[in-house]
Chain A
C-alpha cells in the first residue's frame, strides 16, 4: 500500500484516539466540573466526621462552594481536623456553622456551611469554631433506646398498669422525633 495512504489512515487513527481520550476526560470525567478557581483554605475541628472523605464537596444552601482537601487527627484534643478549600468568590462570616450531612439516606457525606451574622469574613488559614458532628446512626438508636428505657421503667414498677404501659410505648414509638 502507498506510504501516504498509510500515513493518512494512521493520522486518522491517532486523531480518533486523541478525540476519544479528550471526550472521556471532558464528557465522562470530572475535568470540567471540578474547577474551583482561586481558593482559600479554612479548617474546622469535629469530634466525629463519620464517613467524610477527602475531595468531598463543601456545600452552602445546596450549592457546591468548595472541597475537602485534607483530614487529620489532632492527638492533643482527640479531634478530627478537616481542612477545606472554598472558592474565593464566596465569602462567609466568621461565625459560620460547619455541619456534616449525608446526601440522601445512604449517599456520600458532605460538609455543609451555614452562614452566621458577623461582619468579619473567613480568611485563608482561619478556623471555624462552631461545628456539628456527623450523625452516627448506631449512637442515635442507642440514645433513643436508652431514653425510652428510662421513661418506661417507673411505669412498669407501678402495679396494674401493664396494659397501659404497653399501649403508651407503642404510641410513643410512633411519635418518635425521627
Chain B
C-alpha cells in the first residue's frame, strides 16, 4: 500500500496493510516531527509532495525490497500539508518470513524514501521558515 495522506496518519494502517500468514515478522518505522533543529525552535512542518512521482518512487522502493530482501508486504504512507510537532510524518511497514529481512528492508525503505521520493519539508520557526533541500 502506497499513500500520500492529508490529515492524521495512523501507523496502524501501515501495519494492517502488510499482515500476511506467510510472514513471521513485521518491521515498522514511524517518523515524527521534532520540535527543534540546531537549537532553533520548530513550530511545525509543512510537506509538499509531487504525488505521481512520489507514489511511483514508493512503488519502485517496494519492488526493490521484494527483489533484494524477499519481503512479502510493503506499506509506505507519507503526510502532505501541515504536521505539528509530535505528529506522524511517515509510516513504513514491511512484512517478511523472518526478522532479519524485515528489519533490513525497513531500514532500506526509509533511506531510499529520504533520498529519492519527491517530497519536501518546510520548517516553520517563530521568526521565519526554510525549505529543507537534501536532508
Do chains A and B stick together as partners?
no
Binding site for A on B (CB under 8 A): none
